[in-house]
Amino acid sequence: MEKLQYISQGITREEQELNIRKALDHGIQWVQVRWKNAPENELIRLCEISRKLCSDHQAICMINDHVQISKEVDADGVHLGLKDTSVETARHLLGRNKIIGGTANTISDVLQRMQEPCDYIGLGPLRFTSTKVQLSPILGFEGYRNIIQGLKQKSLEIPKIFAIGGVVLNDIEQLQQIGIYGVAVSGQITGQPFIINEFKTAMQ
């Protein structure tokens, strides 16, 4: 599984599409299409376009929240928030071969996600981020450390956890030392798509 995810940003469909194109052109191999409060027909159109763009670049295309749209456009999977459709329902609808990711904020969320089970966990936020409206309590590096330690104390295998929420390139080393599998980045890649290669190098 890729260790770097790009979470799309943009107010309009054109902005979203442009940012996704730039990320793909700079070598991103995993895109999560995330466009909150979008008109449904515009969102579906963006997902269709993104699916094709990702296919052309041999990249994974995930849809945030919308299981039905993910199925309609035949995306590679869906990422579910804690209050979204259940993993079980999504799995039933999408089939066994699609990727299902789930958000978590606490160790009990992580344990729930492991039980469901989803294919990877987006754990965060690391720090404050303006891309999310209803932000869960901020974890910081200490929060990640405590959760990973908690799993080890229960003698559980550490799942594929992606740090999310204000993650920047300089965080990679520390996150990897803690035992985090990968990162999901939105702001820094949107603003500086050329930084993708540096992320990849840092995460090898």
What are the domain boundaries of the chain? 4-202
Asked if pLDDT for residue 129 goes beyond 80, the answer is no
pLDDT digits (tens, 9 = 90+) for 85-94: 999 999 999 9
Q: Write down the pLDDT at residue 133.
A: 61
Mean pLDDT of the 178-204 span = 97
Class of domain 4-202 (CATH, top level): alpha beta
Q: Write down the pLDDT at residue 202.
A: 97
Read off the pTM. Answer: 0.95
Q: Write down the pLDDT at residue 32.
A: 98
Nearest Cα to Cα of residue 5 among 201, 185, 187: 185
**HEC sequence for 18-75:** HHHHHHHHCCCCEEEECCCCCCHHHHHHHHHHHHHHHHHCCCEEEEECCHHHHHHCCC
pLDDT digits (tens, 9 = 90+) for 23-78: 999 999 999 999 999 999 999 999 999 999 999 999 999 999 999 999 999 999 99
Q: Are 118 and 108 in contact (CB under 8 A)?
A: no
Give 165's DSSP letter: S
Q: Which amino acid is at 202?
A: A
